[in-house]
Amino acid sequence: MVYEHPKLGGSPLTTLALAALIYAMSIILIDIAPFFIGMYVDALGLSLSQAGFVQTVDQAGGILGAIAGYFLMPRIAWRTLIIVASLIAVLANISTALVDTYYLLAVVRFVSGFGVVMITTVTACMLARAASPDRAFGIGLALGMSLSAVAIWLLDTLRAEYGFSASLGSGALWLTLGLILAFFIPVNIGGRADASPKSPKEKSQTKAMGWAALAALFLFGLSVNVVYGYVERVGLANGLDQSGVTNALAFGYIFSAFGSTIPLIFGAVGGRLKWIAFTTLLLLGSLLALYMADSVSLYTVAFGLYASAWNMGLTYYMSLTAENDPEENLTRMMYIATVAAQSIGPAIAAVALTGASLSVIFVVAPGPAFVAAILVFVIASRGRNKA
């Protein structure tokens, strides 16, 4: 007799492994975004402002994909959603290699964003169903960082050997691999989770913490993304050449993969709030290090710390959301919040950079992360006082 997990099917570990791999392959497209901005400028002759707008459109498609996932996931099998979204994203990324005008590029990147983030949304909800979501998210993000390093080198190799078009279309390779894996996900995974019965007081506190964690996830994402869209340009401004920046970011992703295993190793031992405090301090320290790094080695370490903090923040805030969301309503909204931050963060940076030097983004970035940590600590404190 085969045990059927009510949320993950007959082989929960296999389901989670597939979800982690597909999740990792989808976030590669997010991790290589700064390199796309540079290629839009160099390959199509767009201005930096136009290239930034294309990236904003890409993120807008992602927000719509996350919203579509929110409404479709309770109604459609999750394997079906991942397969359809993967097909859409693969075609859009192939088209990215073929288009030669600003407006067509914006259209295909919008479609790509829609498909990619729907994949990420569905697989994130699968990982949230693990017995220890901290460890599940940690695995997915660590895999994503490792594969992103490979993707960055692949971008550079394809650009050198075959030109910009091949490099811009390389996202289709990763998405195709994810599409193939999606066919092995059990067909009966999906629907809504059954909420365990709680007293009105417990239910109220759980709901408050769930909403606080979701808001904190958005705020933390703002801090990260104010800097991330310009991280390549920061390296160049610090005196590194293009090859040095590429290598620093690629090795930084590998380095951050080890940092991303912290949630995998420790989970929420000692309380998740302590890890959130540590993550916030790590992010602030990494921002200072990025600002000051003037060599490839220093920039590699600084970016590795920054990416590690980013992934730890995502892990712990998403886990905190899932733990306080028995009906999975807020869990399905996690990537609406995350991609909204990815879209709004660079816009905040763009406004801050008007008439100012690049260093201003390091002044703006820490604020939302501080507010995020304070928010969850305050809600947790109120819950303890009421207990």
Residue 231 is predicted with a pLDDT of: 83
DSSP result, 239-270: T--HHHHHHHHHHHHHHHHHHHTHHHHHTTTT
324 and 210 Cβ atoms separated by less than 8 Å: yes
Residue 369 is predicted with a pLDDT of: 96
Residue 161 is predicted with a pLDDT of: 84
Q: How far apart are CA 138 and CA 370, in angstroms?
A: 22
210 class by beta-carbon count within 10 Å (0-12 exposed, 13-18 middle, 19+ buried): buried
226 and 346 Cβ atoms separated by less than 8 Å: yes
CATH for the stretch 12-386 = 1.20.1250.20
Residue 1 is predicted with a pLDDT of: 35
pTM (predicted TM-score): 0.85
The rounded average pLDDT for each run of 10 residues, N- to C-terminus, in the chain (387 residues) is 58 92 91 78 77 82 94 93 97 90 91 95 92 88 86 84 84 94 90 57 74 96 88 83 82 77 77 91 94 89 90 92 88 91 84 82 92 94 66
Calculate the CA 230 to chain-centre distance.
16
99-121 b/e with 16+ CB inside 10 Å = b? beebeebbbbbbbbbbbbbbbbb
- Tell me the residue length of the chain: 387
Residue 283 is predicted with a pLDDT of: 95
Summarised one tens digit per residue, pLDDT across range 33-63 is: 767 877 887 778 877 677 778 888 888 899 9
Summarised one tens digit per residue, pLDDT across range 158-194 is: 888 888 888 888 889 999 999 999 999 998 887 765 5
Provide the CB-side half-sphere exposure for 88 (13 A, CA). Answer: 23
Would you state the structure tokens that stand for residue 161, as one six-digit string? 């050997």
317 and 220 Cβ atoms separated by less than 8 Å: yes
Residue 3 is predicted with a pLDDT of: 42
Residue 203 is predicted with a pLDDT of: 60
251 and 145 Cβ atoms separated by less than 8 Å: no
Residue ranges of the domains in the chain?
12-386
301-314 b/e with 16+ CB inside 10 Å = b? bbbbbbbbbbbbbb
**Shortest CA distance to 337 belongs to which of 228, 208, 221?**
221
Residue 206 is predicted with a pLDDT of: 81
